[in-house]
Chain A
Amino acid sequence: MTAPTREDDAPEPSAVPARETILPVASGSQVIAHTRRVMAKRWRELSAVVALYMMATIAGLIPPSVLGSIVTAVQHGTTAHTIDLDAAVIAGALVAQAVLIRFGSLAGAKLGEALLATFREDFIAGVLGLPLSTVERAGSGDLMTRSSRDINALSVTTRQGVPAMLTAILAVALTIGAIAIDNPVLVAPCLIVVPPIWAVARWYLRRATAGYLRESATWGVITDSLAETVEGARTVEALRLAQARRARADADITECFAAERYTLRLRTVFIPGAEASYILPLAGVLSFGGVAYLNGWCTLGQVTAAALYARALVTPMEQLIDWLDHLQLGAASLARLLGLAEVPADRQPGSAAPRDDRLRAAGVSHAYVPGHDVLHQIDLDVDVGERIAIVGPSGAGKSTLGRLLAGVSGPDSGEISVGTVPLIELPLDDLRGQIALVTQEHHIFQGTLEENITLGQPDASEASVRSALGAVDALDWALALPGGLATAVGAGGLMLSAPQAQQIALARLVLANPHTLVLDEATSLLDPRSARHLEQSLSAVLDGRTVVAIAHRLHTAHDADRVIVMEDGRISESGPHRDLIKAEGAYAALWRSWHGKSPKQHRHAGLTQNDIPQDPVHNPVDNSSTTASRGG
């Protein structure tokens, strides 16, 4: 068994933030040790399977031997009765073989299914236990591959590959054993093929796994590109990319063809070697046997039986060779599935309990790439029940600050604490009870709508689910679904729209009931008016809680107790909306132009001008109530 390779684990090409990680892969020895541990637990079943397979193979070896004795008997003269008897023995052996195969195959399948279930359940348990920061960083591509392709590959290996290999190995060994019993001299020609076959198989297997992985990856690329051409067909037409897409397909095919040619070259060496391995023993046994017979060392029946045995080696040899590279793939997949166990824990939970609910960041700096700080010395005290809005241009570090404030990972330097306990020292379950983070990323899980909301609180009552939905303006459409709250949603069920999914994400949060919430553009997918309305309904529910909202719409800032303007990883302005407007800084200018005022000089960036709006009708601060009902 070779050490599993990592070539195919390249992470998704990523943009933000730079992700340095891919998930680890278990080493060859770890895979072997784990397999051994699992097998040891099922030692009895395993021996039963091996014993049944072995007996079945032995029963299958009886007919050629009997036929050999018929040949000898016919040669020397015998009775019809003897032949009838011999035929009955062959039939009996067959029946025995069939019965043994029936039980062996079932026992093997039971064992295989049990192992497979263990492997995949352990894997999913591992996925669910991954540190939050790893999950945030790793992207889903690698995990997705492991959960789909690797579980599948392992399934094929366990369900079909292992039994086939076991049968084949036993068949080859026992057949050669049978030849030895028949006439030990004739074993030699079977064994002479071993060294060349060994060499060819070794050469092939060393290259095959990587070769086939590359091959299937290139087919994957072809499929992906085609899917893109189809999905983006309108864009292809609009930007006149047809030629480029055809060229893309041709380039993908060229890659694929190179990979195919490589594996074809491997097989060009391997196939003649493999084919020769079937026929050489036969030719050898026949010639050796012939010489032995002519010299009177054995009977014609023994030569016949040996030749038939040699011919019977073909099938198990083929199987053995066929499944060897599958087995390698299975082992590589297992290595990736077991690799999750190697992810180090990222929290050092202590025993200290927070004194109060006060969130505090002190001297926080953070970098994704060493040397490129995205946050510089941020200090922020959040009062209990305070609503803070963070605004600022893209890339200012708003989302990073949000993640750190929610305790997803620890800052590189400085400290973020709740009630004087650093977030990173809180056990995950406690942390979740204190602070929750909702980003614009959303996901509807397979299940009912209700299950999607109660995730963390399986005991939540329907009434509380309804009120959570009501708080996010989602109750009306939820009840209007074909099955109401019991409607199956997510993969395979009803597909909710992105804005609806975002409302569900917020409903989960309402139900989870933490004292502090970090909302990172949590309503960005809703149209502006619905978002506005949702935020207002939500604010009723969140009354008394601490909210840190990162927003690209300025009305969120307008409603907040305090606005924090971030630029280049620093806090450039901070204070209540009114104060910032009075201060006539960049925020004030932005607010006016964003709000639809018509300042006199407005041709430049709009961030530096400081004239006061002259339009008395639309005072930004006072006209909040009249049209709220238009939302939703």
Chain B
Amino acid sequence: MRQLPVADPGTPDLRSAHHFFMWLMKQQRASVLLGIVWGCAWMVAQALVPAVIGSAIDALAGRRTGAFTFDCLAVLGLGVLTALAGVLRHRRVVMNFLDAAYRIIQLVTAKSAALGNTLAKLITTGEVVSVGTADVDAIGSGVDVTGRGSGAVVALIVVAAILLARSLPLGLIVLIGGPIMTAVVGVLLKPLHHRQQRYRDQQGALATRAADIVAGLRVLRGIGGEPAFRTRYRDQSQQLRFSGVHVARTESFLDAAEVLLPGLFVTAATWIAAHYALHKVITPGQLVTFYAYTSFLAVPLATLTEAADRIVRSQVAAGRVIAILRLRPEVADPEQPSAEPLPGATLIDPESGLTVPPATLLALASDDPAAMARLADRIGGYIPDAGPRLDDVPLASLPVASVRSRILVAANDAHIFAGPLREQVSGASLKPEQAVLAAVSTASAGDVLEAVGLDGALAARGRTLSGGQAQRIRLVRALLADPEILILIEPTSAVDAHTEAAIAASLRTARSGRSTVVVSNSPLLLDQADQVAFIVDGKVAALSTHRELLVTNEAYVAAVARAGEL
């Protein structure tokens, strides 16, 4: 039994959707082949049953007990083979499905992680998630169907051989009529698929309505309006009901046609075969065989149709997967990385005139807080070919991982991942409990720790936390990452004044010996900084202490004093 997931999903062949699909199959060549073998055995075992039944009837008619006993045992044997091959095939193709599906998820996860900051600029979450669900399913199904599909082809050949050997004209009628009948029913089903799609869309809309009510329930229950919502939902639900009946009307005709058309074909073929039997061209047993095959043929034919459909879908899905796997991050590692600057380097940004000396708490106040994110991105090395450097070494000439490990830009929209609190604030490697507790205390996040617990689970996106709690958990995580240069963007915008004061007071001690850049206009934070750089139009307009600037710089006062809000 295979163990999944594999440790290394391998390097995929991204030349085309088809190449990628074949690459997935090649990764488990033996297993796919085995699936095909069992699929063939399974289908052929079923395909032989009508022939054996006919033979048994003839044996009975001729009172040949030996032959009859043999046929009965053959039916039993084929039954056992069907059961055995069926389950072995099933086990095989489920494994093949999973191998392919898991491999794609591993590849897409690794690619998303590697794209990092670039990802959001190239593709939406929805697109990647739909690749991770629908497309993975489609490709897995494509891999899965190879077993049954091959079985269907072999079964058709076997049936054709049997029928043609019994009677050429009857064999031809069945072999030509069967596929035509399948095709006709397929054509009839087309418009139904359309209508079903519309029904599903309406169903989706109603589900959205229900989700909308549930998501807004707390708001709604606070302010009223339930009757209106109940009515609106009921109206939409009744529309769906009638549209369902409308679809069902078409469906009911098709249900009938699905019985009637092949049935009439079987009847006609049987009628002709009965005349042949009457004239002793075929035996009564062969008549039974023909009758049974006319209806049996629908099984391999439907399987083939399904296989074709699934293969096409899997190719389309594979196309979407490779589109993601081909993406490249915006900021790439340099071909010839420079030598690493020593620890304690000074960060210099010529464009803004900003210098971050080692072991300093530097605050950035600005006339336009909204524009500060870009400045932070630049000095954090997120913008390709920008000019900031560490001592003399341009960030662009250092490996990306090295820049990220030395400079951390901690923003308020940073994602909080689901998982145990301690693990999630620890980042790349689990931090000692003492360190976690110290960071929690610096960030005044004791209340969150108390509510969640060190090993308690945080929900994805921190959605069980209030805005202020989430912000402080982000701060804990940034502090624990303990980078040489930590850039905090508005780290206290969502917390109350009491807590902000406490955080401002302890941040300096917690970061002593390291550089910290705080982007904020809050006097509580500014007052704690060694230096405050006042940024106007993206450039350093003044550099001094908060108290000094309060007295000397009117624009600064206008920007930061809360009076501006009054």
Bound-complex Cα distance A304 to B55 (A): 11
Bound-complex Cα distance A303 to B116 (A): 71
**Interface 9-mer from A28-36, A350-358, A430-438, A472-480:** A430-438
Q: How does the 8 Å CB contact mask read for B51-91 relative to A, with 1 for contact and 0 for none?
A: 00100110011010100100110011011101110110011
The answer to whether A237 touches B116, judged by C-beta atoms less than 8 angstroms apart, is yes
In order of increasing CB-CB distance, the 8 nearest A-B pairs are A237-B116, A232-B415, A279-B79, A109-B248, A395-B447, A456-B224, A552-B496, A596-B523
Bound-complex Cα distance A116 to B380 (A): 56
Tell whether A74 pairs with B229 under 8 Å between CB atoms, given A99-B256, A238-B409.
no
Majority secondary structure, B binding face: helix
Bound-complex Cα distance A236 to B111 (A): 12
The answer to whether B457 touches A233, judged by C-beta atoms less than 8 angstroms apart, is no
Q: How does the 8 Å CB contact mask read for B115-149 relative to A, with 1 for contact and 0 for none?
A: 11111100001001100110000000000000000
Tell whether A94 pairs with B447 under 8 Å between CB atoms, given A241-B428, A594-B501.
no
Partner of A90, one of B216, B270, B417: B270
Determine how close the nearest CB of chain B comes to the CB of A14; give it in whole angstroms: 5
Bound-complex Cα distance A553 to B207 (A): 39
Bound-complex Cα distance A275 to B481 (A): 58
Bound-complex Cα distance A394 to B76 (A): 75
The answer to whether A226 touches B129, judged by C-beta atoms less than 8 angstroms apart, is yes
**CB<8 Å pairs between A and B, sample of 26:** A90-B270, A102-B253, A113-B242, A124-B234, A128-B213, A128-B217, A128-B226, A130-B217, A139-B464, A140-B215, A228-B415, A231-B461, A232-B416, A238-B410, A249-B5, A257-B98, A279-B78, A287-B72, A290-B60, A304-B57, A443-B220, A509-B223, A551-B496, A595-B523, A596-B563, A618-B561
Determine how close the nearest CB of chain B comes to the CB of A111; give it in whole angstroms: 10
Determine how close the nearest CB of chain B comes to the CB of A101; give it in whole angstroms: 5
Tell whether A101 pairs with B498 under 8 Å between CB atoms, given A271-B87, A446-B209.
no
**Interface 9-mer from A79-87, A173-181, A414-422:** A79-87
Partner of B76, one of A152, A238, A239, A279: A279
A462 CB-CB contact with B under 8 Å: no
**Interface 9-mer from B24-32, B154-162, B286-294:** B286-294
Tell whether A607 pairs with B501 under 8 Å between CB atoms, given A228-B418, A555-B562.
yes
Task: Please name all residues of chain A whose beta carbon is closer than 8 Å to the beta carbon of B527 when the two chains form the complex.
Answer: 593, 598, 602
Q: How does the 8 Å CB contact mask read for A249-280 relative to B, with 1 for contact and 0 for none?
A: 11001101100110010011001100110111
Tell whether A432 pairs with B223 under 8 Å between CB atoms, given A83-B275, A446-B209.
yes
Tell whether A97 pairs with B208 under 8 Å between CB atoms, given A83-B274, A246-B109.
no
| Residue from B264, B404, B415, B547 with most neighbouring chain A CB atoms (10 Å) | B415
Task: Please name all residues of chain B whose beta carbon is closer than 8 Å to the beta carbon of A286 when the two chains form the complex.
Answer: 53, 56, 71-72, 75
Residues of A137-151 whose CB lies within 8 A of B: 139-140, 143-144, 147-148, 151
**Interface 9-mer from B100-108, B308-316, B354-362:** B100-108
B284 CB-CB contact with A under 8 Å: yes
The answer to whether A235 touches B415, judged by C-beta atoms less than 8 angstroms apart, is yes
Residues of B1-16 whose CB lies within 8 A of A: 1, 3-5
Q: How does the 8 Å CB contact mask read for A68-95 relative to B, with 1 for contact and 0 for none?
A: 0011001100101001101100110011
The answer to whether B98 touches A260, judged by C-beta atoms less than 8 angstroms apart, is yes
The answer to whether A529 touches B565, judged by C-beta atoms less than 8 angstroms apart, is yes
The answer to whether B4 touches A595, judged by C-beta atoms less than 8 angstroms apart, is no
Tell whether A242 pairs with B113 under 8 Å between CB atoms, given A94-B259, A393-B499.
yes
The answer to whether B562 touches A596, judged by C-beta atoms less than 8 angstroms apart, is yes
Bound-complex Cα distance A447 to B229 (A): 11
B326 CB-CB contact with A under 8 Å: no
B176 CB-CB contact with A under 8 Å: no
| Contacts across chains A and B counted by CB atoms under 8 Å | 546
**Interface 9-mer from B177-185, B345-353, B384-392, B466-474:** B466-474
Bound-complex Cα distance A522 to B83 (A): 65
Determine how close the nearest CB of chain B comes to the CB of A36; give it in whole angstroms: 22
Residues of A424-457 whose CB lies within 8 A of B: 429, 432, 436-438, 440-447, 454-456
Partner of B496, one of A235, A293, A304, A393: A393
The answer to whether A16 touches B469, judged by C-beta atoms less than 8 angstroms apart, is yes
The answer to whether B566 touches A604, judged by C-beta atoms less than 8 angstroms apart, is no
The answer to whether A249 touches B248, judged by C-beta atoms less than 8 angstroms apart, is no
Task: Please name all residues of chain A whose beta carbon is closer than 8 Å to the beta carbon of B233 when the two chains form the complex.
Answer: 121, 124
The answer to whether B57 touches A135, judged by C-beta atoms less than 8 angstroms apart, is no
The answer to whether A437 touches B267, judged by C-beta atoms less than 8 angstroms apart, is no
The answer to whether A491 touches B274, judged by C-beta atoms less than 8 angstroms apart, is no
The answer to whether B237 touches A233, judged by C-beta atoms less than 8 angstroms apart, is no
The answer to whether A233 touches B223, judged by C-beta atoms less than 8 angstroms apart, is no
The answer to whether A222 touches B105, judged by C-beta atoms less than 8 angstroms apart, is yes
Partner of A290, one of B68, B91, B224, B242: B68
Q: Write the chain B residue with the least CB distance to A264.
A: B94
Task: Please name all residues of chain A whose beta carbon is closer than 8 Å to the beta carbon of B469 when the two chains form the complex.
Answer: 15-16, 394
Tell whether A393 pairs with B498 under 8 Å between CB atoms, given A113-B244, A257-B98.
yes
Task: Please name all residues of chain A whose beta carbon is closer than 8 Å to the beta carbon of B68 when the two chains form the complex.
Answer: 290, 294
B398 CB-CB contact with A under 8 Å: no
Q: How does the 8 Å CB contact mask read for B284-323 relative to A, with 1 for contact and 0 for none?
A: 1001100110000000000000000000000000000000
The answer to whether A117 touches B241, judged by C-beta atoms less than 8 angstroms apart, is yes
Chain A interface extent, by class = 35 or more
Bound-complex Cα distance A609 to B413 (A): 34
- Known: A135-B218, A282-B49, A558-B566; 9 extra A-B contacts, CB below 8 A, are A74-B274, A75-B61, A91-B264, A116-B244, A147-B207, A278-B79, A282-B53, A406-B222, A551-B496
Q: Write the chain B residue with the least CB distance to A528.
A: B565
The answer to whether B222 touches A87, judged by C-beta atoms less than 8 angstroms apart, is no
Bound-complex Cα distance A148 to B505 (A): 47
B396 CB-CB contact with A under 8 Å: no
Bound-complex Cα distance A97 to B287 (A): 23
| Residue from A83, A144, A223, A275 with most neighbouring chain B CB atoms (10 Å) | A275
Partner of A144, one of B118, B215, B416, B547: B215
B458 CB-CB contact with A under 8 Å: yes
| Residue from B113, B275, B522 with most neighbouring chain A CB atoms (10 Å) | B113
The answer to whether B214 touches A140, judged by C-beta atoms less than 8 angstroms apart, is yes
Bound-complex Cα distance A229 to B446 (A): 27
The answer to whether A105 touches B87, judged by C-beta atoms less than 8 angstroms apart, is no
Tell whether A456 pairs with B112 under 8 Å between CB atoms, given A279-B82, A529-B564.
no
The answer to whether A240 touches B428, judged by C-beta atoms less than 8 angstroms apart, is yes
The answer to whether B129 touches A144, judged by C-beta atoms less than 8 angstroms apart, is no
Determine how close the nearest CB of chain B comes to the CB of A232; give it in whole angstroms: 3
A125 CB-CB contact with B under 8 Å: yes
